[in-house]
Chains A and B, each alone.
Chain A
Amino acid sequence: MEKYKIEIKNFNFYFGEKQVIYNLNLKVQANRILSVFGPANSGTTTLLRSLNRLCELNPELRYEGEILLDGKSIFDSRESVTQLRRRVGMVFEVPTPLPMSIYENVSYGLRLGQGKSKAAIMEAVELSLKQAALWEEVKERLDAPAMSLSGGQQQRLCVARVLALKPEVVLIDRACSGLDPISTAKIEESMSQLKKEYTIIISPHNVQQAIRVSDRAAFLLMGHLVEEGTNDEMFTNPQDKRTSDYVTGRFG
């Protein structure tokens, strides 16, 4: 039996009375990039936010079913949610730099209580900025406020900030939707480097991005998982008519 990094079982998600995810089953292999794509309001963001339990911030939300990380339930009340969020990092649609300097943004998670030396932190900051393809642009001005960076740089800063925590899974939610093509290319390139060490789940902002970056893809439509498979299966030979209509641009 093959081992999966993440297993989602019979997952239902409700926003108040409205159901947004219907009985979803999905398995994610380690060290692969999985694209979860679909038209707006299909539940992709909700699914990603469920994986690190960020969705719990809203008291009107509730879920049924199970999500396993390395075979253990992420909803287990004995596990700390902050620890889960360090293992499952997330980059958002809108860049979310914290109102502090570049260096502080990347090192913030590290400085929170792991008792690392300054040199070790600096090393980790440099490494993660390099992984996010941002180091060359900011190495001279690590003390500048993060808000002074361009949108694309801010987004790569957010990627670096997540990587600094050495997560196991990285969730990327439409992270390139507001970026120029060059920044997008840089982020996509770093993604393909990163999958050696991390499991990446991305909600791409269009089908082309899914084709470019992912190993496998899952098509979500109105909260239903329509089809899941390798890139070839999904984009050149989809089984479901709705998938082929969507990827060929007939709707959506």
Chain B
Amino acid sequence: MKNFKEKLSGRVFLTLALFSILALAVITIFILVQGAPVIGKHGFAFIAGTSWSPGNGEFGILPMIIGSVAVTLGAAVIGVPIGICCAVFMAEFAPSLMRTIFRPAIQLLAGIPSVVYGFWGLLFVVPFISNHLGGLGLSILAGSVILSLMMLPTIISISEVSIIVLPSTYKDGALALGMTHWQTIRSVQLPAAKSGIVAAVILGLGRAVGETMAVIMVLGNATAIPSSVLEPVRTLTTNIGIEMGYAEGEHRQALFATGIILFVIIMILNISAQYITRNKSKSLKIK
């Protein structure tokens, strides 16, 4: 009887675990089936085409690819230095009381719904850019600012952990050589935590690339190739989000095809993050 229960419980867990894999498979197959014909029909022109005009049967998503890359890179330029410095502060400088306040606060930053970020950006960041830097304010810059805030929790918490888990011998050894605290951080701890920090940045970028709701509200969503950071753009995600409601036929398939491209980009980012963190554990074993 007991043996039967053991077996049954194993099966139940297996079945439930399969559901999550099944969901991934169903979604992937559905996107591929819906989107592949458009990519097959237009071929390279789908990725390299500069004109997106569904009414005329033109489906070139190059402006959106550029938009996604530009907004993500902008977010990285703003968010990565802030995130890493914050992680170093939390891991090395913050007194424990401050740490117990900061850590949940940063977690909370991850819990704010993205639509709230977007709304705040629209009411605060967009007018600020428009008033001080010119243009509409709906721009790459506005999107980058919002996304940089949204990727902070990921970057900070993973980088902080990768510094904290370093063997204390690194720090002891460096300090015992008469290095100052800052010299120790710069020349020993940061290089040693590098792979963890790079993985943190890549995961943060993945979050930025995939974000839709917040950027829909602040990017302006124009389908032209931008010439400066103050111009509006549309990203791959917002392209789907905006047009899905009324798209039909080939137009609808083209949006799924946009999803395929997005899927590929995020897969590449996640796989490289995994690859980098795996390399880290290997090098630790050798030692």
**Which A residues have a C-beta under 8 Å from some C-beta of B?**
52, 54, 57, 82-83, 85-86, 89-90, 92, 94-100, 108-109, 112, 147, 158, 161-162, 165
Contacts and interface: CB of A to CB of B under 8 A. Distances in A.
Contact of A85 (B167, B178, B192, B283): B178
B188 interface: yes
Interface string B272-286: 000000000001001
A86 B191 contact: no
B229 interface: no
Interface stretch (B22-30, B57-65, B117-125, B179-187): B179-187
Nearest to A56: B175
B191 A96 contact: no
Q: Quick one: which of A86, A95, A108, A147 has the most chain B CB within 10 A? A: A108
A103 to B, nearest CB: 14
B106 to A, nearest CB: 23
Given A99-B191, A100-B191, A82 B170 contact: no
A90 B172 CA distance: 9
9 contacts: A54-B175, A83-B178, A89-B176, A92-B176, A94-B169, A96-B173, A97-B173, A108-B177, A162-B176
Contact of A99 (B171, B176, B192, B286): B192
A53 B191 CA distance: 25
B174 to A, nearest CB: 6
10 A-B pairs with the lowest CB-CB distances in the bound complex, closest first = A96-B173, A86-B178, A96-B169, A90-B176, A85-B178, A109-B177, A82-B178, A99-B192, A94-B169, A147-B287
Given A98-B188, A99-B192, A100-B191, A109 B173 contact: no
Contact of B170 (A52, A96, A108, A112): A96
Contacts of B183: 112
Contacts of A52: 176
Contacts of A57: 171-172, 175
A145 to B, nearest CB: 10
B177 A165 contact: yes
A215 B123 CA distance: 76
Contact of A161 (B171, B177, B287): B177
Nearest to A96: B173
Interface in B143-198: 167, 169-180, 183, 187-188, 191-192
A86 B179 CA distance: 9
Contacts of B177: 85-86, 89, 108-109, 161-162, 165
Given A112-B183, A147-B286, A147-B287, A99 B170 contact: yes
Given A94-B169, A108-B187, A54 B176 contact: yes
Nearest to B176: A90
Chain B interface SS verdict (over half)? helix
A86 B176 CA distance: 7
B175 A98 contact: no
A112 B286 CA distance: 29
Given A82-B180, A85-B178, A161-B177, A92 B172 contact: yes
Given A85-B176, A99-B192, 18 more contacts: A54-B175, A54-B176, A57-B172, A57-B175, A82-B180, A85-B178, A89-B177, A92-B169, A94-B167, A98-B174, A99-B170, A99-B191, A100-B191, A109-B178, A147-B283, A147-B286, A162-B176, A165-B177
B76 to A, nearest CB: 25
Nearest to A83: B178
Contacts of B179: 82, 108-109, 112
A152 to B, nearest CB: 14
A165 B188 contact: no
B182 to A, nearest CB: 11
A94 B187 CA distance: 20
Contacts of A108: 177, 179, 187
A66 B192 CA distance: 36
A94 to B, nearest CB: 5
A112 B175 CA distance: 13
Contacts of B188: 98-99
A94 B167 CA distance: 10
Contacts of A99: 170, 188, 191-192
A112 B174 contact: no
Q: Quick one: which of B169, B171, B177, B187 has the most chain A CB within 10 A? A: B177
A18 B174 CA distance: 28
B172 A85 contact: no
A223 to B, nearest CB: 22
A89 B176 CA distance: 6
Contacts of A96: 169-170, 172-173
Nearest to A110: B177
A165 B155 CA distance: 38
B173 A54 contact: no
